[in-house]
Amino acid sequence: MTIHCHSQPNLKIPRANGFSFIELMVAVVIMGLLTSVVVLNVLPSQNRAMVEKARSDVALLSQAIEMYRMETLRYPAMEDGLDVLTRAPAGDTFRQEGFVKSLPKDPWNNPYQYLVPGEFGPYDVFSFGADGRLGGTGLDADIGNWLDE
């Protein structure tokens, strides 16, 4: 009599498709590290861009004030403020429109300030900076037309 031995082929236990908990945790940690690197590099750039926008607006407003002075032979009065730049000057002038279309707000959504006579020149145009208050350092420092001199 012959004995036949039928051996079972190596049956592999089917593995569920997907990732293990460890693999998922490694992926989450890597994404967290990448996010922190991006945030640390982007936020300072955004702050610099806001300061540059304020400087650009101050330069634009200063230029409009000088054009107003050339047209009217005086600087805008304190009581008129910067709003006078959005209208054509009264009287017999060549200008049919204002010196700026509209007054911008600073990057922190505050109005630009105007003093005549100014502390640093015939007039001062400035933003209070990120804190919205006079003075400050760093991002909170005032940004004005006297800084370009």
pLDDT single digits (tens) 83-126: 999 988 877 666 778 899 999 999 999 999 999 998 999 999 99
> Which amino acid makes up residue 7?
S
Contact in structure between 127 and 141 (CB atoms under 8 Å): no
Q: For residue range 38-49, list pLDDT tens digits in order.
A: 887 777 788 889
Q: Which of 51, 81, 47, 50 is nearest to 147 (CA)?
A: 51
Indicate the helix (H) or strand (E) that contains 144: strand 143-144
Which CATH number is 45-144 given?
Answer: 3.30.700.10
* Domain boundaries along the sequence of the chain: 45-144
Give this prediction's pTM.
Answer: 0.70
